[in-house]
Structure 1
């Protein structure tokens, strides 16, 4: 079955649902958002990812109407929503604390927002039933929030947020209060619910794994600016800067200078007196330009002898081993003093591990394993 790939951002005819146009937000002397331009499309699950204080929550609060931009325009379906008060926007926000009413049942919590509108009673009942079914809470409709688990409370908050069928749902660190296993299960639930309702979701998170699991696209932010917007695969495999490479997942970054070495190939001179690394790149670099070679640990092999056909091979000794159950990460100290991380799958029991601390080893990778970056 040939499923069409969902990628409205690649279609010039598609109109975005949300547009940030030259948006700046200052709090006194502090610039939280710096001249931001961004498009988000209908039915996207869009993640804003970045460290604390990077501006992602400010962006979300501006979409909700709790903050106004100092400069610039925010459009929803082609309309400037900056002057529109929060309760008149087709936008709903689900808070990290869930903010459920403790004295109301699950059913009444979900119905609360609908009852404040002018929806007929029987329509409210139908809509609440639909939301209970969507979030698999039918059995818990008569319970109060303290009588259900954290994961179920999270689903009640989601059902309540979706009950009024907003065009846009904002989720602020929605899974922050859940334990690791439940978070994982809930991430897939969120994706499932988002696909079923077709609502556009914008999630704020500092958890890169969460962003990579749920999002159709991720915006990596730093100090009020967007560093890169792309699908999770592109962010991971083709980061546009060493900041993005370093922020998403584990990475080795070798900094050096570049020398062209034939069609799409470059030598990276990174340590005095050591042989250069070879890296492939579609980007053009000029001779002597500073560059950063980013190589993921899972793309680096570790062996006792120098591999005969490796594009890049460096000698070192095992400094540390992080055992992660299914994987082991070897920290290998090179002769230059730099530490490189190499990752291997644990297909055999730990007692049969090939290398241990202080062992001399070779780390190697292909010319295409790394990404050559200019910043």
Structure 2
């Protein structure tokens, strides 16, 4: 039995939970969000990814009601929320600092919002117990925030944010304060909790790995605009621009001019006295059009001897080697000075390297390995 794929954005009958329609946000002359239109669906884990100052936090703060819109509308479940004050929106926001009350226990922190809503004690107890169980904090209910670890404090903040059952939870760099290993563990916990509750999560992050791990879709932003929205694999394997290709993961960019070869195949002229590169592209290019070939380092293999029957093979010299334990990245200088990264998986324990610094090597890749981009 095949598991149905979660992709409401591909279903024309599915109504979005959140609609940004031609939203602009100005601070004086500065445009923080520039005529932005985007739908986000119920039960999505949607990531806003981009460098500092790209507008991702402004988008989130407008959703929460902490910022007003200069132009356009934001709808939540079909309702224009411009006039709805923050405390009356079915939205909760979890901050990077967690903002826990230091004098209250874990239990009291989670119960805080429910008490303010004057819910009956029994209902509060039931809901807090449910949240403690969900975040695996039952044993820590009576402790104060300073008596638990950073990762546990993060889960308390999450439990408190979810206690009131919001339709939408906004997470602003929620894992920024955790160390790398704990952050990776917590990413999977976040995904499990989001799936269990069915709450729509929108996360703001500048950490590409985090966005790629947790999100159903990733929106890559720059200067107040969304450059591309796609699933993590779509963003990685089929970026729509050099900016997106360069922002996500490691990539080699080879600039050249296109010339038609076969159906959906092009030659890329890229270097003086160099054989053209063969690339596959569904996007049409005209002869002589400037283009950029984006290839991930793991799609390029490296050998000492010249490969036979390779669609693309170029000779170069090893400048640098980055050994990362599971992977080795070779920086290979090609004729003309272009440096290309090729990656190999270290599947066996090796006492010495096959290929080392200053070696003459060949790199090769298939015509389908790269993405041909116009900008």
TM-score, structure 2 as length reference: 0.99
- Unpaired runs of at least 5, structure 1: none
* Deviations 1:233-285, CA, capped at 9 Å, x for gaps: 00000000010000000000001100000111100011122111000111111
Q: After the TM superposition, which residues 320-335 of structure 1 pair with which residues of structure 2 at under 5 Å, given as runs?
A: 320-335=320-335
Q: Corresponding residue for 1:199?
A: 199
Is 2:13 aligned against 1:13? Answer: yes
* Deviations 1:2-54, CA, capped at 9 Å, x for gaps: 11000000000000000000000011111110000000000000000000000
Q: After the TM superposition, which residues 126-275 of structure 1 pair with which residues of structure 2 at under 5 Å, given as runs?
A: 126-275=126-275
Q: Corresponding residue for 2:289?
A: 289
Describe the SS at the equivalent of 1:259: strand
**Separation (CA, whole Å) in 1 of partners of 2:256 and 2:62:** 41
* Deviations 1:199-235, CA, capped at 9 Å, x for gaps: 0000000000000000000000001010000000000
**Separation (CA, whole Å) in 2 of partners of 1:32 and 1:329:** 38
Q: Corresponding residue for 1:302?
A: 302
**Separation (CA, whole Å) in 2 of partners of 1:351 and 1:58:** 52
**Separation (CA, whole Å) in 2 of partners of 1:35 and 1:354:** 53
Is 2:317 aligned against 1:344? Answer: no
**Separation (CA, whole Å) in 1 of partners of 2:190 and 2:270:** 44
**Separation (CA, whole Å) in 1 of partners of 2:29 and 2:75:** 26
Q: Corresponding residue for 1:40?
A: 40
* Deviations 1:60-80, CA, capped at 9 Å, x for gaps: 000000001110000000000
**Separation (CA, whole Å) in 2 of partners of 1:350 and 1:36:** 52
**Separation (CA, whole Å) in 1 of partners of 2:328 and 2:275:** 28
Runs (4+) off by over 4 Å: none
**Separation (CA, whole Å) in 1 of partners of 2:289 and 2:29:** 36
Q: Corresponding residue for 1:99?
A: 99
**Separation (CA, whole Å) in 1 of partners of 2:342 and 2:83:** 53
Q: CA RMSD in A?
A: 0.7
**Separation (CA, whole Å) in 2 of partners of 1:318 and 1:308:** 21
Q: Corresponding residue for 1:357?
A: 357
TM-score, structure 1 as length reference: 0.99
**Separation (CA, whole Å) in 2 of partners of 1:49 and 1:98:** 20
Task: Tell me how far 1:119 sits from its aligned partner.
Answer: 1.4
Q: After the TM superposition, which residues 39-78 of structure 1 pair with which residues of structure 2 at under 5 Å, given as runs?
A: 39-78=39-78
**Separation (CA, whole Å) in 2 of partners of 1:82 and 1:256:** 48
**Separation (CA, whole Å) in 2 of partners of 1:256 and 1:70:** 42
Q: How many residues align?
A: 375
**Separation (CA, whole Å) in 2 of partners of 1:350 and 1:227:** 43
